[in-house]
Amino acid sequence: MITVKIRLYGPLKTTVGKRQSEVELPEGATLGQLPIALQARYGQQLSVLLGGNQPFHQLRVLINGRDHFTLHGLETPLAEGDTITLMPPMVGG
């Protein structure tokens, strides 16, 4: 098992009740497996905010400060101690 840190912002933080959490995943886990682990821990409402069947579709996802699209998207492998930042889009004027 590996442990990754999750930083949450906006409604994600509100749903979880804290800004930072840790999640255990199996060795060799990818970013695409993270929503399943988060849903199991925090419930269906968080799963909806994460994008449901299209995980992270409308979120900015950073892995150790790098956008997951510049890595391998949902296939990006995760490692012990990685920090994953989940941010909803900013809206305003």
Check pLDDT > 60 for residue 77: yes
Question: Which CB contacts under 8 angstroms, 24+ apart, belong to 25-30?
Answer: 25/1, 25/78, 26/1, 26/2, 27/1, 27/2, 28/77, 29/2, 29/77, 29/78, 30/74, 30/75, 30/76, 30/77, 30/78
* Torsion sign, CA atoms 4, 60, 48, 10: positive
Check pLDDT > 60 for residue 92: no
% of residues, the chain, pLDDT over 70 = 96
Q: What are phi and psi of 78, to 5 degrees?
A: -105, 150
The model's pTM = 0.88
Q: What domain range is 71 assigned to?
A: 2-87
Residue 14, domain member (yes or no): yes
We report the CATH number of the domain holding residue 19 as 3.10.20.30
Residue 92, domain member (yes or no): no
Residue 34, domain member (yes or no): yes
Q: How far apart are CA 54 and CA 28, in angstroms?
A: 21
Residue 18, domain member (yes or no): yes
Residue 70, domain member (yes or no): yes
| DSSP track, 30-48 | BGGGHHHHHHHHH-HHHHH
Check pLDDT > 70 for residue 93: no
